[in-house]
C-alpha cells in the first residue's frame, strides 16, 4: 500500500488552503499534565482505512525499544499524570504493555487501553481481557458504527462479528456493567468526509441496537477523520483534499478550543520523541524536549505547535481522543 511521508503530508495540508485561511489560533498548554499518552508502535493485527498512524501487521519494526519503555516508566513517576493512555497500533501487542499498565496503576494513575477489540480474540492473548479487568484498565474501543456494513467497510470484512464477540467477552468480565467500575467506551468515527456529530438520539440508537446483540457499554464518543496518513492519501487520490479542509475550516468552532487534548496531554512516540498530540506525532512536529528529563515546568504555558490539520479537532463539536470538546456545534469562518 502506498503511503505519504510526514513531510509530504505537511506540504499537502499547507498547500491545499490559501495562506489567509490557514489555521492560526494561538494555543497554550495548561499548567498541569492530565494525560501521558504513549504510542507503543504501529504494529497491529488490523489495517483500517481511516487509521491515522498507518498501523498494520507489517509494522513490527516500529515497536518502542526497551530503553524508551524505561524512560516512560521513569516519566510516569516524574510527571505524575492523572491518566496514562496506551495507544498504537495495537498497544497490547507490545511485550512491555503489561509492565507499563502495572507500573501506572501502582502509582495511582488511571490507565486507558485504546483497543481495536479484535486483538482480544488472538489465541496468544487469551488472558489479556481478564488482565485488563484485574488492573481496572479503562477500555476505549474503536467501533465506527453500530452496524455491520459501515464497520466492515472501514475495518475489513468480518470485523463487525469479531468486535461483537470481543465486546460480549468484556461484558462477561464486568465491562460496561453498572457498578462494576470497569469502564467501556466506544469510539465512533464517521464515514468519509462527514463530520462527527453525535447526539443523544444517536446514543440511544447505539444502545438499543447493540443491546439487541447482547452488548452493553458505558460511554459513546466520536472522532472526526483526521486529514493525515491513509485518509489524506485517499483524499488526494480523489482530488478532495481542498474540499475536505475547507469543510473543516468552515465548521471551525471556537468553543472547542478550551477542551483540546493538546492543552493537557504529552504524547510520546515509540522513538521517545515528545509531541503536543498524537496527530502532531504522525506529522513529525516534535517538541524540543527530552523524554529522559522533561518536567512539568517545561510544559506549562508552552505554545502548542499547530497546522491546518488542527481544523480536524476544532470543527463542529470538536474532536479529541476523549470525544467532543464542545457542547455547541456553532461554527465560525475565522480563527
Summarize pLDDT for 261-286 with one digit per residue, the tens.
999 999 999 999 999 999 999 999 99
Residue 333 has pLDDT above 50, yes or no: no
- Asked whether 53 and 88 are in contact (CB, 8 A), the reply is yes
- Asked whether 333 and 312 are in contact (CB, 8 A), the reply is no
Contacts of 302 (CB under 8 A, 6+ apart): 28, 29, 287
Report the alpha-carbon distance of residue 102 to residue 80 in Å, rounded. 15
Report the alpha-carbon distance of residue 91 to residue 93 in Å, rounded. 5
Summarize pLDDT for 41-95 with one digit per residue, the tens.
999 988 876 677 778 888 999 999 999 999 999 999 999 999 999 999 899 999 9
Residue among 155, 134, 133 nearest 144 (CA): 155
Report the alpha-carbon distance of residue 204 to residue 186 in Å, rounded. 13
Residue 191 has pLDDT above 50, yes or no: yes
Summarize pLDDT for 22-42 with one digit per residue, the tens.
999 889 999 889 999 999 999
Task: Supply angle C-alpha 310, 290, 5, rounded to 5.
Answer: 45
Q: How many residues does the chain have?
A: 335
Report the alpha-carbon distance of residue 98 to residue 91 in Å, rounded. 10
Report the alpha-carbon distance of residue 248 to residue 328 in Å, rounded. 16
Model confidence at 198, pLDDT cuts 50, 70, 90, reads confident
Summarize pLDDT for 294-330 with one digit per residue, the tens.
999 999 999 999 999 999 999 987 766 666 666 555 4
From the number of C-beta atoms within 10 Å of its C-beta (0-12, 13-18, 19+), residue 126 rates as: exposed
Report the alpha-carbon distance of residue 188 to residue 173 in Å, rounded. 23
Contacts of 328 (CB under 8 A, 6+ apart): 253, 255
Model confidence at 170, pLDDT cuts 50, 70, 90, reads very high
Residue among 47, 123, 49, 50 nearest 89 (CA): 47
Residue 128 has pLDDT above 80, yes or no: yes
The sign of the CA dihedral 137, 49, 283, 225 is negative
State whether residue 141 is helix, strand or coil: strand
Fold of 6-314: TIM Barrel (3.20.20)
Domain boundaries, the chain: 6-314
Report the alpha-carbon distance of residue 99 to residue 104 in Å, rounded. 9
Mean pLDDT highest for which of 23-37, 97-111, 227-241?
97-111
pLDDT at site 331: 46
Amino acid at each position: 500500500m502506498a503511503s505519504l511521508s510526514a513531510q509530504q503530508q505537511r506540504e499537502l495540508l499547507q498547500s491545499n488552503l490559501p495562506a489567509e485561511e490557514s489555521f492560526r489560533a494561538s494555543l497554550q498548554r495548561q499548567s498541569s499534565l492530565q494525560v501521558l499518552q504513549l504510542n507503543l508502535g504501529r504494529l497491529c493485527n488490523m489495517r483500517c482505512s481511516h487509521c491515522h498512524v498507518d498501523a498494520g501487521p507489517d509494522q513490527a519494526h516500529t515497536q518502542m525499544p526497551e530503553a524508551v519503555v524505561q524512560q516512560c516508566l521513569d516519566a510516569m513517576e516524574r510527571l505524575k499524570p492523572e491518566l496514562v493512555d496506551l495507544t498504537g497500533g495495537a498497544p497490547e501487542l507490545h511485550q512491555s504493555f503489561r509492565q507499563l499498565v502495572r507500573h501506572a496503576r501502582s502509582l495511582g494513575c488511571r490507565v486507558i487501553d485504546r483497543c481495536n477489540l479484535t486483538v482480544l480474540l488472538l489465541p496468544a492473548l487469551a488472558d489479556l481481557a481478564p488482565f485488563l479487568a484485574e488492573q481496572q484498565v479503562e477500555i476505549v474501543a474503536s467501533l465506527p458504527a453500530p452496524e455491520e456494513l459501515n464497520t466492515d467497510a472501514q475495518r475489513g470484512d468480518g470485523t463487525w462479528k469479531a468486535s461483537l464477540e470481543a465486546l460480549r467477552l468484556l461484558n462477561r468480565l464486568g465491562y460496561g456493567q453498572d457498578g462494576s467500575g470497569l469502564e467501556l467506551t466506544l469510539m465512533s468515527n464517521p464515514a468519509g468526509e462527514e463530520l462527527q456529530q453525535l447526539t443523544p438520539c444517536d446514543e440511544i440508537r447505539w444502545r438499543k441496537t447493540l443491546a439487541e446483540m447482547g452488548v452493553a457499554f458505558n460511554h459513546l464518543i466520536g472522532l472526526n477523520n483526521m486529514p493525515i496518513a491513509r485518509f489524506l492519501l485517499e483524499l488526494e487520490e480523489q482530488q478532495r483534499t481542498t474540499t475536505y479542509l475547507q469543510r473543516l475550516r468552515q465548521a471551525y468552532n471556537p468553543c472547542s478550543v478550551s477542551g483540546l487534548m493538546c492543552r493537557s496531554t504529552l504524547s510520546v512516540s515509540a522513538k521517545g520523541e515528545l509531541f503536543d498530540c498524537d496527530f502532531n506525532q504522525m506529522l513529525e512536529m516534535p517538541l524540543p524536549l527530552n523524554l529522559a528529563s522533561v518536567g512539568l515546568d517545561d510544559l506549562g504555558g508552552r505554545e502548542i505547535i499547530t497546522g491546518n490539520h488542527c481544523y480536524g479537532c476544532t470543527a463542529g463539536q470538536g474532536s479529541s481522543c476523549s470525544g467532543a470538546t464542545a457542547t455547541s456545534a456553532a461554527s465560525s469562518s475565522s480563527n
